[in-house]
Structure 1
């Protein structure tokens, strides 16, 4: 009897325990409010705890820690599916990988896997933390999926594997604490956040997805491109165009020409499902196509990078804040059309409405995936297979420059028929019916052997900065690209390559991304109407990463093979460094290698002497101007042994001291400008400084206005949008700054960040700093400082009016959004040491200067980089680029005892432009003059 009672007790206990584990806590029970309640936001600390509760309570959930954030928080992904599917996640992940990579599969095998697999759908939230709908819809969606038992939800759980991912934990904590600090709910506002909501990149965290510099983007990238490779990814953002509720798919042209067309039409299909769901639920205000600015041209965003991996990448931009707002009256948006079939009328808008819309959109996507799971799985295979086939044979891609070439061939053909007067020839195919050109002009261009797409790319191991080339390779590997490495020396097309060289072939499923990283982007001439103003690209027009990183590679047009080892997907590479020669006298570190600066900074921090050789070194061991020399010592040897291995440096040991001139290197007291709210370009440089071990201090406008800068700093760096134009309305140019709060409304810890650079107070302080021997480096629009100081330079991009006045060229004549251009350099100058005589720069409507010849002759200004061609465009869009010829892109000018460096291009752009990092790094040391002495050498011990 006692035994029987014990069994009953255990059974009852198990029943109670099971019941508890399946009791799903609602958001109201956990947070104390419903998701979408006005004036209420959840912190990440609260959200993380809720995720863990949900995972513990539901057998529909697996909680996955995908890595740490830049501020050290855990970043979570919740995998949601049926309990049966949760038990088989490894198998469904394997199927998703196999179909996405499309390697060694027949169509029959792919269909079988598609039938067995589950559609994998990614939904994220919170990437841009001030866009609070994203994080909170994620919380509500998780709750609904794990608690509901209606037929639609059960079908979704049965057919889908859902990856619900928090994209920016740090940002949610920052933004929520800022909003909720106000005790009176009605006074709560998201405005005037005092710092970036991602430690370094802020809003640019959504511009890091082909580079993957940040920890959060690395975490996300691994799940998207290496681990799960979902068929659909849905990226939630804010905000929709004024007068609408949200913007969503499909998107406006242009789309990138490397895409598989099935990806574009896949977006169309999902977009139809999403807008139909909202319309059926009487939720108006969805705009698409030309109703918004969003396109599918750009690579680098969380959504857009997936497009280059054959994923159906979705973006919605919705209105809504915890503080109620108004849908404004925009009369033109009240007319139904193809962009906005169901307009929204002006009204008061509450946070809950945006949450409800987002939930409907998520369910539309998940229901489509459940109903079409086998098709989605097969289609990603088919797109991958198409890429493999295109990369395995001669293939010619269409693009605007090819179309222009066809038209030019027709125009310049003296033997062309005169259409359409001789109608009789049309029946023989010589003149197409209905107009057009004879097909031979297409064949002239689109079958020309030299115009084929490449079969692959070879990155030689013996290039000047192989360590940076490896960083480029790792960017590819992080995005799921198949990379191979030579295990022995080999030859292709008559050229020899050493072992260790990398090979990236285009016969792989993610071929669109491979091409986009190596090949130039050819953005169309996109104008509102013929002769009218240009339509600004959504982000950059050109970004070819191999160009920006100055990676040396060969573009191979024919099929090739060799002693190549396929690297495992996702396996990052490390360059092998060595110390060669006999370092009895010292060591040489190449000025061409960016990583040399890390080693030098570590040496200087340890008190070891370092020199530069302004004239290089001749003889059999010819080395470039600016090479670093480190006298031999036991301490130096220990550090350099470590640096060679860790940073992939090829360090040369010298048996004899150099006889050429040596200039001693000393660290500088470096200041980097920033502002209240945080500057993204400054944040990127801050991250770079940390990566390359440059010590620096962040300063704000108030620090500059306080004066006595020379007592504290040797060099100050100003990124774009720091220095206002001469005579400009500063509040117009720096709108974010003009909205900063009053000191009395700002927490004490952030008050020192308030203020802005002004012509009346800041510029005189900077001038005094320069005249006292300080150095200022300006980048982009902050080269305005040259005009404030009255230097003999002018804007090169102007035209003369009828009254004889200069005015900026209008966009109809000259327009260059973010693109890659080529400039010339004098690599013997200190500022350009370690660089070739030509380099690619990132140019975004950047300043270009005209310098009077006598100013150069008198040493008042020295050009550092200039355009010597009427066609400097390398990648992107450059309308009217001929205006750039002979313009100066960068210069240095003495100001009193100091120096002003002005770099018009974005030389540190998003920490991607490794090829021009040295234009900053070279300026960050004090470099003496004269020859090394014995006392110098002794000090190095």
Structure 2
């Protein structure tokens, strides 16, 4: 009997192995080369065909998760054992139920964790020029499908792997570009002609709390709604010079809204990753402060998962199809906690990077296989923690609150001096501020802080006074009233939450909370849910610590933005509720997007479109395209502010407005003094290689149906611009600084000037060139003098200096030689953050804007305008900083230097105009609260 049973088991195992390996071609059999061979890249067309062949394996299921921006299929291959595929729907259900942690007891969760399989996401190719990413995905998929060793079998038995291609369009472009040269040694990834994601290029990894792009939406649906994996692994390049790769764990600061289990989960998986490399004698892994990567930022493919309790992993590795050298960086040769096993200088091959990546993938998968029940239970525990925190009074720790404790203690010490045993100051645990002086508008300098007794701390009453202050506790939820003026934009904000898996409720009837009435249709977002960290991050300001290299030294630049609060960027009205509340609310299904309802009342003489509503500009463009006359109202009324649109009654007008998604009121009679809107011929600057900022504006104009045409430096240098355009838009980094005669962009260097014409195909040569002071600026000046308008954003406001306008840089001090110089970082430093400005909303340029608004500011230009120039009408200020504390979200060191600085202005130039907007008013197509500052300039008005 025993021998019969043993024989049956052996036969079953052999059949399983044989079935798993059937008809799976090797990469070389399909592509004609091994993955990682020098000078060889696979196109997406070839890769897609290969994955379809791998789909013949019983270990795989190939799914299409959506279309890309260029219309290709974006695929995700699900890899697990044949037995698990039979129960895939159940394992998916377990994964999502545990992640959301709704209505489960700990015992139920443990039972589900025991039953379930770990779900691990591995992607590749998001940044298409980082070619290791796509190719490791191919090699890993092949090995998982073809190998039958015990480790692989254990992984397949205990893990469901979601292998996702993050950017098909980019792979096709990049690989074809590299392989176009028949001589392998001459192949190069340099001088790619356009962005490798149609609109965003590299910024496709900054779109994951907004999800504007189709690829982001496809990926986000899988990550945050349909599967919610416990681990996601995002492959990137490149590692810091002198290392092979950077990986987890990451440097501080991490975002204070995270569950600590997520941070320690990263530590645990990271240990498995670098331990495996060390076992395999693969040196060069650096972590923590060995690289720039942190877990502060939201919006990246990896980082947004952190706010959803997932163990989000990022590695940045060297390598590519063209062999390279690991450079000698002496400081990297010393083993330390950041780099325990340094790599020595050597020649580096593509295949080495592929082998490292496969090892790292297997390390993650083996960890998940061995700890699958723990991973499933832990994501439940993090979700349950969030639900509990959102159901009671809770105070999130942050630098400002710790600083408040210090300030309160120090104030008392000054009232009652005491002897102390130490000169050590009480700090927040983050890097301290400079000790020499207090920068204007900054926090208290360390030298001014009263010390606490060594080892004794300070009385806990100070903790209680701040971190048990009922006014400072976290909210229980938010209400987004449907009565707000720009309701369609508020719905877009709600959809951004829904796309990231947030549970949203909607009122089915009018209701009241805390004595305030709200109308039916209002949205409610409560914080007693698993993804509470993400909700807080979208509504609440970020409090980035003062992070310096050393006391008195320069600041450490954040990996990306320091502050980004989406509700602020989109200018959404919401109320923050500190106590529990309820009402006639219905729960919306997870992932179900919302659409604003059009309300077109009456007919009368015509219709009025409120210019405070972004969708009004979309409707106007559709009306103009349909041949309907549209007028603007320079003088506002009680119900419509200045700049609103008037549309005479007609069946065609009503048909367009019925699809506008906005509330349109009727006018009993035609308003007086209206001016007819003229569509303008719009030019949008771009450059060879593509500009991400221009790409986002192109996407934005397509969404709002503006007919823009790309214009390149050669077009501008050729002159006669007024024959083609009425307005030209220059995004940041288009106009060089004064003195930059060669037209280098802000990255500098020869490469920034682009390739030689003979080095690229003839079709792309018209895109070459840079805006220059000697050729381009005179043509732009002539364009404006003849009646054209130029809109400049960010650093492209440099054009004002080229034109000699009476404006100067506000962010300067006096150097030792008596000359003005830009403020250094020790005095003034504002990385990407949200600041508040005042507007002159009576100007045509600012119609529809509130008098106070939030802007995205990233070391943006700020100006001083000569008073006599303002008086003479040579410049008109549009936006400025009214005080010394404009910071709303993020980090602003020395923000007092901004006081009274002008951050946007208009200047007549001949018969035309220059508009200069220092802040990033179209930032990544997210800052919807300031879109109107661009849209207003894209219409002409008949006299």
Say yes or no: TM over 0.5. yes
SS state of the match for residue 737, structure 2? Answer: coil
Structure 1 residues 20 and 853: CA distance shift in structure 2, 3 A: closer
1:145 aligned residue:
144
2:897 aligned residue:
883
Checking the alignment, whether the CA contact within 8 Å between 1:419 and 1:435 is kept in structure 2 is: no
The alpha carbon displacement at 1:434 in A equals: 1.8
2:668 aligned residue:
655
Distance in 1, Cα, partners of 2:419 & 2:157: 61
2:648 aligned residue:
631
2:657 aligned residue:
640
Distance in 2, Cα, partners of 1:52 & 1:394: 52
The alpha carbon displacement at 1:739 in A equals: 5.1
Structure 1 residues 172 and 605: CA distance shift in structure 2, 3 A: same
Distance in 1, Cα, partners of 2:264 & 2:218: 29
- What's the TM-score once normalised by structure 1's chain length? 0.94
Written as runs of structure 1 = structure 2, the 5 A alignment for 1:114-513 is 114-413=113-412, 418=418, 420=420, 434-513=455-534
Checking the alignment, whether the CA contact within 8 Å between 1:432 and 1:438 is kept in structure 2 is: no
Structure 1 residues 802 and 593: CA distance shift in structure 2, 3 A: same
Distance in 2, Cα, partners of 1:847 & 1:20: 60
2:25 aligned residue:
25
1:588 paired to 2:608? yes
Structure 1 residues 151 and 421: CA distance shift in structure 2, 3 A: closer
SS state of the match for residue 625, structure 1? Answer: coil
Distance in 2, Cα, partners of 1:549 & 1:155: 47
1:803 aligned residue:
817
Cα shift readout 1:6-53 (whole Å, capped 9, x = no counterpart): xxxxxxxxx9xx979822111011101100000000000000011111
Partner residue of 1:786 out of 775, 797, 800: 800
Partner residue of 2:687 out of 659, 662, 675: 675
The alpha carbon displacement at 1:804 in A equals: 2.3
Distance in 1, Cα, partners of 2:453 & 2:109: 41
Distance in 1, Cα, partners of 2:454 & 2:547: 29
1:705 paired to 2:725? no
1:52 aligned residue:
52
Partner residue of 2:549 out of 528, 541, 545: 528
Checking the alignment, whether the CA contact within 8 Å between 2:680 and 2:727 is kept in structure 1 is: yes
Partner residue of 1:874 out of 888, 896, 907: 888
Written as runs of structure 1 = structure 2, the 5 A alignment for 1:760-771 is 760-771=774-785
1:604 paired to 2:603? no
Checking the alignment, whether the CA contact within 8 Å between 1:420 and 1:435 is kept in structure 2 is: no
Cα shift readout 1:207-248 (whole Å, capped 9, x = no counterpart): 000000000000000000000000000000000000000000
Distance in 2, Cα, partners of 1:419 & 1:911: 56
Distance in 1, Cα, partners of 2:654 & 2:829: 52
Distance in 2, Cα, partners of 1:846 & 1:82: 53
Distance in 2, Cα, partners of 1:328 & 1:45: 35
The alpha carbon displacement at 1:837 in A equals: 0.4
Checking the alignment, whether the CA contact within 8 Å between 2:390 and 2:529 is kept in structure 1 is: yes
Checking the alignment, whether the CA contact within 8 Å between 2:753 and 2:770 is kept in structure 1 is: no
Checking the alignment, whether the CA contact within 8 Å between 1:73 and 1:170 is kept in structure 2 is: yes
The alpha carbon displacement at 1:653 in A equals: 1.4
Distance in 2, Cα, partners of 1:895 & 1:602: 31
Distance in 1, Cα, partners of 2:930 & 2:242: 43
Give the superposed CA RMSD: 1.5
SS state of the match for residue 165, structure 1? Answer: strand
1:68 paired to 2:67? yes
- What's the TM-score once normalised by structure 2's chain length? 0.94
Cα shift readout 1:750-774 (whole Å, capped 9, x = no counterpart): 0000000110100000000010000
SS state of the match for residue 259, structure 1? Answer: coil
The alpha carbon displacement at 1:642 in A equals: 2.9
Checking the alignment, whether the CA contact within 8 Å between 1:285 and 1:343 is kept in structure 2 is: yes
**Bigger mean CA deviation after superposition, 540-549 or 736-745:** 736-745
2:676 aligned residue:
664
1:733 paired to 2:746? yes
1:745 aligned residue:
759
SS state of the match for residue 659, structure 2? Answer: helix
1:7 aligned residue:
none
Distance in 2, Cα, partners of 1:608 & 1:83: 61
Cα shift readout 1:440-477 (whole Å, capped 9, x = no counterpart): 11111001110000000000000010000000000000
Distance in 1, Cα, partners of 2:875 & 2:194: 37
Checking the alignment, whether the CA contact within 8 Å between 1:245 and 1:318 is kept in structure 2 is: yes
SS state of the match for residue 763, structure 1? Answer: helix
SS state of the match for residue 55, structure 2? Answer: helix
Distance in 2, Cα, partners of 1:417 & 1:437: 14
1:556 aligned residue:
577
Distance in 1, Cα, partners of 2:781 & 2:252: 47
Distance in 2, Cα, partners of 1:494 & 1:141: 59
Distance in 2, Cα, partners of 1:479 & 1:615: 41
Checking the alignment, whether the CA contact within 8 Å between 1:174 and 1:197 is kept in structure 2 is: yes
Structure 1 residues 896 and 267: CA distance shift in structure 2, 3 A: same
Checking the alignment, whether the CA contact within 8 Å between 2:734 and 2:745 is kept in structure 1 is: no
Structure 1 residues 709 and 435: CA distance shift in structure 2, 3 A: same
1:905 paired to 2:904? no
Checking the alignment, whether the CA contact within 8 Å between 1:612 and 1:626 is kept in structure 2 is: yes
The alpha carbon displacement at 1:577 in A equals: 1.4
SS state of the match for residue 658, structure 2? Answer: helix
Distance in 1, Cα, partners of 2:389 & 2:840: 42
1:88 aligned residue:
87
The alpha carbon displacement at 1:605 in A equals: 1.0
In the alignment, structure 1 segments of 5+ residues that lack a partner are 1-14, 423-429, 930-941
Distance in 2, Cα, partners of 1:19 & 1:415: 81
SS state of the match for residue 733, structure 1? Answer: coil
Cα shift readout 1:374-427 (whole Å, capped 9, x = no counterpart): 0000000000000000000000111000011000000112565725479xxxxx
The alpha carbon displacement at 1:637 in A equals: 2.1
Distance in 2, Cα, partners of 1:97 & 1:371: 20
Distance in 2, Cα, partners of 1:563 & 1:100: 27
The alpha carbon displacement at 1:741 in A equals: 1.5
The alpha carbon displacement at 1:654 in A equals: 1.8
Distance in 1, Cα, partners of 2:730 & 2:752: 19
- Number of residue equivalences: 897
The alpha carbon displacement at 1:87 in A equals: 1.0
SS state of the match for residue 503, structure 2? Answer: coil
SS state of the match for residue 108, structure 2? Answer: helix
The alpha carbon displacement at 1:88 in A equals: 0.8
Distance in 2, Cα, partners of 1:386 & 1:537: 28
Distance in 1, Cα, partners of 2:764 & 2:198: 16
Distance in 2, Cα, partners of 1:272 & 1:248: 10
2:736 aligned residue:
724
The alpha carbon displacement at 1:608 in A equals: 1.1
Distance in 2, Cα, partners of 1:312 & 1:415: 48
Checking the alignment, whether the CA contact within 8 Å between 2:477 and 2:576 is kept in structure 1 is: yes
Cα shift readout 1:635-677 (whole Å, capped 9, x = no counterpart): 222222233xxxx21001122222x320110100000000000
Distance in 2, Cα, partners of 1:410 & 1:54: 65
2:9 aligned residue:
none
Checking the alignment, whether the CA contact within 8 Å between 1:178 and 1:193 is kept in structure 2 is: yes
Cα shift readout 1:712-758 (whole Å, capped 9, x = no counterpart): 10000000000000013643635375352210111011000000011
Checking the alignment, whether the CA contact within 8 Å between 2:20 and 2:146 is kept in structure 1 is: no
2:434 aligned residue:
none
Cα shift readout 1:785-832 (whole Å, capped 9, x = no counterpart): 000000000000001123321100110000000000000011121111
Distance in 1, Cα, partners of 2:605 & 2:306: 54
